[in-house]
Structures are given as C-alpha cells and as structure tokens.
Amino acid sequence: MMRIKILLTAILCSVVGFAQSINDYKAVIIPLKYEFMKTDNQYRLATLSKQNLTKAGLEAFYSNEQLPEGYTDRCQVLYMDVVRDNAFLVTKLIIQFKDCFGQVVFTSEAGKSREKEYEVAYKEALDNAFKSVYALRYKYSGNSVATAKTSAPVKAAVATTVVATPVATASSPDLKDPNLLYAQPTESGYQLIDKTPKVVMKLLKTSQPNVYIAIKDNVQGSLILKEDGQWYFESYQNDKLVSEKIVVKF
C-alpha cells in the first residue's frame, strides 16, 4: 500500500510540474520508432501520437520533418517518448515528454488495455495514457524555455567551464545536405537519425560539451566539435585513426 501511495504521489507531482511549464513549449517532436518497436510506425503508434497531440492542442512534428521557421530552437520544443511497462495479460503504455537536455518533465499515468490483438491493444493503451495530456489543457504562453534554463547560477557554471576549456562554436548545418543527421535526445545523450529515418549513430555525453562517445555501425569512437565549427567522427580502424565529417542538427 505504501509503495502505491508513493507512486501516486510521484505521478501527481510530475503532472503538476508539467502543468506549470507545458504552455512554455511551442511543439512536440515525435520519433517514428519507440524503443520497444521493431519497425517505424509499428501499430501506427507514431501516427496515433501525432493525432492525439493535435487533439490536445499541441503542434506536433515527426522527428524526420524539417521544422518550419520559428521552431528551430530545440530547447523550445518537447520530445515525446512512449515506454512500455511489461505486465501479464495487460498492455501498459506510459507517455514521457523530455526537454532538450533529455530530462523528463512529464510522465503520464499508465494507459492500459486487455485486448489480445496487438494493434488494438496499443491504440487503446496509448489513447488512455493521453487522458493525462488532455487534462493539462495546453495553451502556448509565448515564454522562452531556453531563457528560463540559463538562469544566473547556470550561467556562472558555464562561464567557469569556458575559462577552463574553450569550446568551439558549431556552424549552422546545411539543411539541404543529403547527409544531414538529426539529433534526438536520449537519457544518456543523443541518437542521430537520417531522413529515412534510420538511427545512424548513438552519442553518449562526456564531461566536455564538444565531445561525445560515439557508436556507428558497431564501431566506437568520438564525435568531436573542432575549431572549424564542424563535427567529426574519429575512430581507429586497422590501427589507423580515421576522421569523418558529420553534418548534424542538434
């Protein structure tokens, strides 16, 4: 009973916390493939996610879409994830919204279904999970989330880091480049997807903002922002250091 009370309290706090900030986000980005899915838009979950978000009054874009003007600041949009909670004879889905730093800002109540057919069960569970989102009654406030996240204490910390280790400034990527990759936040960093969309590379955060541990085609290396403002994937192949330019939009 105590564990149930704690869980309910956590859910309530997450809903309240999100209700205070949801109106500060301009839109939501939807991945075409959640972690538990085998193929893009399996069971039409990406399509259903967008339909539900639109119904809730939120602007929604798929992760492989080129965002229109006014939506290019990745810190002013949320990133949706759906987590499957394994349960016997019950399909349970939980909606999460993350900010541009990969931090979870909202977790819905679990949507449940006892239907046996997968497509029917997932749709029902997702629709039920979205009831928590509908209850927030979203309306964009026009406030800047990016400004809120760079408060005075954070600026001081960043300034100290810059003095110790100068960081190169990334150049704006060419959005028409056919090799352009899009960064999607994960719990430990990012995953880079192409326009297919397909996950091309996984990035893990390090203590340096311009260096990531990178994994591409089972090859581990580093993604480094160099002084020319470009990102490079560096790895050793046959005992030789190989450097590959990567065009990425964070």
Please check whether residue 140 is in contact with residue 23, taking contact to mean a CB–CB distance below 8 angstroms.
Answer: yes
pLDDT, residue 142, reads 79
Burial class (CB in 10 A: 0-12, 13-18, 19+), 41: middle
Of 27, 86, 103, 17, the C-alpha closest to 60 is 27
Give the CA-trace dihedral at 182, 185, 190, 194, to 10 degrees: -20
Return d(Cα 157, Cα 219) in angstroms, integer: 34
Pair of tokens at residue 155 = 């600026």
Number of neighbours of residue 84 by Cβ within 10 angstroms:
16
pLDDT at 12 over 50: no
Q: In this predicted structure, what is the pLDDT of residue 144?
A: 64
Which residue carries 């987590």 as its tokens?
A: 83
CA 193 to chain centre: 12
User: Pick the residue with more confidence: 106 or 150?
Assistant: 106
Whole-angstrom CA distances from 87 to 71, 92, 93, 128 are: 38, 7, 10, 16
The residue extents of the domains of the chain are 2-145, 167-249
52-62 residue pLDDT tens: 999 999 999 99
Q: Amino acid identity, residue 118?
A: Y
Asked whether the bond before 197 is cis by omega within 30 degrees of 0, the reply is: yes
Q: Give the span between the Cα atoms of 16 and 62, in whole angstroms.
A: 27
d(CA 136, CA 107): 12
Computed over every residue of the chain, the mean pLDDT equals 80
Overall average pLDDT of the 171-195 stretch: 87
pTM over 0.85: no
Which residues have a Cβ under 8 Å from the Cβ of 34 and sit 6 or more positions away?
45, 81, 82, 83, 84
Residue 248: pLDDT band with limits 50, 70, 90: very high
- % residues pLDDT > 70 (the chain): 82
Q: What is the pLDDT of residue 42?
A: 93
Neighbours of 214 (CB within 10 A): 24
Look at the block and give the residue holding tokens 């602007």.
Answer: 59
Is the model more confident about 9 or about 135?
Answer: 135
Contact present, 100 and 187 (Cβ < 8 Å): no
Q: Report the pLDDT value the prediction gives residue 18, as an integer from 0 to 100.
A: 42
Which position has the higher pLDDT, 195 or 54?
54
Q: What is the pLDDT of residues 119-145, one digit of tens each?
A: 999 999 999 999 999 998 999 887 766
The residue ranking higher by pLDDT, 248 or 147, is: 248
Q: Determine the average pLDDT of the residues in 81-90.
A: 89
Lowest model confidence (mean pLDDT) among 7-16, 21-30, 117-126, 231-240? 7-16
What is the pLDDT, as a whole number, of residue 149? 45
14 pLDDT higher than 70: no
